[in-house]
């Protein structure tokens, strides 16, 4: 039970526009006719509707050749909604829908009991019962389109053809109308064929697609098949837009030279904003920048620094103003396994927690029988050694040391972890390493220790492991000044 085209040729006055069309639209399914402008979609639909003669081939509906049928018989089997704007004057919705009974009524056009029932059903089917007594001229475009569809339904057809029914509608009405057509197809077991420009919507809701490509070839199949075959891209991609097969949507084609990795639940949405701003989305591998979602906003990571971004507009202006980066985001895989992925709190918050530091130093001293000063030095060494081992664990990549989390174990030893693997890569990582280790960690650590234990900052610095200080760009006697540490 279906509409079947075999070798159909359509066109005007003997000039074929499309030839050799083979397709099928099954009952119970929504079939969408897609194609760029000027490929002959309307010509095909008008031919199927019987508004112009076929130039060759056959059109069968449920096994009956439509081309040979008299007007009225044809109108009982199929109904059409056209792009023609109608303004029939003073008519109520019920009267207009009643005109759909035309092929079923007698010479006078008078409606009988059954006709009235069908009209009421058709109005109900498009959810327009509350409009039934309204004058057609008072309807909005969306309402009128629904009413015209009801009129088509009143013909009690097996096939419903609609030519760009959403052309004059606003976005919510388009979605509503498409949903209605889908429902009608399955509930009333109708074959519904719709031509439309609403590509993305059509590809989401259509059971089957008839795709007219630019060479006038008609491809048919489920939308996903056509997408996988690359036919949708081949037909509709432009210089500005390309079809994203996985997302089923069209995306802006950008000449993006910079890449950004987006992580978190909002990633798909944020990627669109990035694409628009001229960035390409990166999945694995190195990237120029990275955006992460946090509990109350986003983090922007670029050029070795991490910036808190409260909302999407902050994200957009942040990516727009990124300079050419000297430091890029590394492939997360290079950092994976460098730390545990244990729970914890941000390490940098520890430096403000003087109580916790004092307790850790006290415990260290107690356990090893050390003075407060020696205990502070020992505790520092243990923390900094762990930090350093993470910092240099991956070759050529500096992990996100500023995003490290910590736990204190029973021995007051600091356990470090990186909740999400990530890091930086650059030609020369030394400046980055210096800043992340010395500025982000050593300086606040020393400041905190000085607060809780009677120890000289100079002494603390001298006790930082040598293999670390050698690698950092912190020379000689003024090193304290260089890293911004206040020397008393």
Partner 1 sequence: MTTTRRALVLGALTAATAVAFAVAVTVGTVAVPLRETVLVLLGLEPDDPRWSVVVETVRLPRAMTAALAGAALGVAGLQMQTLFRNPLADPFSLGVSSGASLGVSLAMVGTGGFAAGLAAGGRLGVVASAAVGGAVVLSGVLALARVVRTPVTLLVIGVMVGSATTALVSLLLTWTDPQRAQQYISWGLGSFSSTTLADLPVFGGVTAAGLAVAMLSAKPLNALLLGESYAKTMGLDVRRARFVTLFSSSLLAGAVTAFCGPIGFLGIAVPHLARRLLGTSDHRVLLPGTLLAGALAALLCSVASQTPGGVVPVNVITSLVGAPVVIAILLRARSLQGVG
> Can you give the binding site for partner 1, defined by CB under 8 A?
49-51, 71-76, 78-80, 82, 84-92, 95-96, 99-100, 102-103, 105, 107-110, 137, 155
Nearest to 223 by CA among 257, 247, 258: 247
Strand ranges (DSSP E) for 275-359? 279-282, 289-294, 297-302, 305-309, 328-329, 345-346
In the complex, the smallest distance separating the C-beta of residue 162 from partner 1, rounded to whole angstroms, is 11
Tell me the C-alpha distance between 299 and 273, whole Å: 15
Tell me the C-alpha distance between 59 and 61, whole Å: 7
Cβ proximity to partner 1: between 105 and 469 the closer is 105
* Helix intervals (H) in 369-399: 372-391
Tell me the C-alpha distance between 399 and 93, whole Å: 69
In the complex, the smallest distance separating the C-beta of residue 75 from partner 1, rounded to whole angstroms, is 3
Q: Note whether 383 and 463 are within 8 A (CB).
A: no
| Look-up of token digits 């603390």 | 460
User: Which residue(s) pair with 11 in the sheet?
Assistant: 16
Cβ proximity to partner 1: between 83 and 371 the closer is 83
In the complex, the smallest distance separating the C-beta of residue 202 from partner 1, rounded to whole angstroms, is 23
User: DSSP secondary structure string, 108-125?
Assistant: T----HHHHHHHHHHHHH
In the complex, the smallest distance separating the C-beta of residue 188 from partner 1, rounded to whole angstroms, is 18
Cβ proximity to partner 1: between 42 and 235 the closer is 42
In the complex, the smallest distance separating the C-beta of residue 142 from partner 1, rounded to whole angstroms, is 18
Cα dist. 49→11, 39, 159, 183, 229 in Å?
A: 13, 18, 10, 22, 30
In the complex, the smallest distance separating the C-beta of residue 138 from partner 1, rounded to whole angstroms, is 11
Cβ proximity to partner 1: between 42 and 275 the closer is 42
Cβ proximity to partner 1: between 46 and 446 the closer is 46
In the complex, the smallest distance separating the C-beta of residue 148 from partner 1, rounded to whole angstroms, is 8
Cβ proximity to partner 1: between 95 and 420 the closer is 95
Cβ proximity to partner 1: between 89 and 172 the closer is 89
Angle value at C-alpha 17, between 14 and 19, nearest 5 degrees: 90
């Amino acid at each position: 039970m279906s509409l079947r085209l075999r070798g159909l040729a359509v066109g005007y006055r003997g000039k074929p526009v499309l030839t050799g069309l083979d397709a099928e639209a099954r009952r119970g399914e929504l079939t969408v006719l897609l194609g760029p402008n000027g490929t002959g979609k309307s010509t095909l639909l008008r031919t199927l509707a019987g508004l112009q003669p076929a130039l060759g081939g056959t059109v069968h509906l449920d096994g009956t050749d439509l081309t040979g049928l008299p007007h009225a018989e044809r109108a009982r089997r199929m109904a059409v909604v056209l792009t023609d704007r109608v303004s029939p004057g003073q008519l109520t919705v019920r009267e207009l829908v009643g005109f759909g009974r035309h092929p079923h009524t007698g010479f006078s056009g008078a409606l009988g009991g059954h006709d009235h029932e069908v009209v009421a059903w058709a109005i109900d089917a498009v959810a327009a019962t509350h409009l039934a007594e309204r004058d057609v001229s008072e309807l909005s475009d969306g309402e009128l389109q629904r009413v015209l569809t009801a009129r088509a339904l009143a013909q009690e057809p097996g096939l419903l053809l609609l030519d760009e029914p959403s052309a004059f509608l606003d976005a919510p009405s388009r979605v509503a109308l498409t949903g209605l057509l889908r429902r009608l197809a399955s509930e009333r077991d109708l074959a519904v064929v719709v031509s439309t420009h609403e590509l993305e919507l059509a590809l989401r809701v259509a059971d089957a697609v008839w795709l007219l490509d630019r060479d006038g070839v008609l491809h048919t199949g489920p939308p996903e098949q056509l997408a996988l075959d690359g036919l949708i891209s081949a037909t509709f991609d432009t210089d500005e837009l390309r079809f994203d097969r996985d997302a089923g949507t069209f995306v802006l084609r950008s000449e993006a030279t910079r890449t950004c990795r987006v992580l978190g639940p909002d990633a798909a949405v944020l990627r669109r904003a990035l694409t628009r701003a001229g960035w390409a989305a990166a999945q694995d591998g190195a990237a120029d920048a990275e955006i992460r979602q946090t509990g109350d906003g986003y983090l922007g990571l670029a050029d070795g620094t991490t910036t808190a971004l409260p909302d999407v507009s902050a994200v957009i202006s942040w990516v727009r103003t990124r300079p050419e980066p000297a430091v890029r985001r590394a492939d997360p895989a290079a950092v994976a396994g460098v730390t545990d992925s244990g729970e914890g709190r941000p390490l940098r918050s520890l430096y403000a927690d003087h109580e916790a530091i004092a307790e850790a130093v006290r415990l260290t001293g107690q356990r090893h029988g050390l003075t407060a000063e020696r205990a502070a030095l020992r505790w520092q060494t243990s923390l900094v050694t762990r930090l350093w081992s993470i910092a240099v664990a991956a070759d050529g990549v500096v992990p996100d040391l500023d995003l490290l989390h910590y736990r204190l174990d029973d021995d007051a030893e600091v356990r470090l972890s990186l909740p999400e693997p990530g890091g930086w890569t650059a030609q020369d990582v030394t400046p980055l390493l210096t800043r992340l280790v010395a500025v982000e960690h050593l300086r606040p650590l020393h400041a905190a220790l000085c607060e809780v234990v009677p120890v000289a900052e100079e002494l603390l610095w001298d006790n930082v492991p040598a293999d670390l200080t050698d690698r950092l760009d912190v020379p000689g006697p003024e090193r304290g000044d260089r890293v911004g540490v206040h020397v008393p």
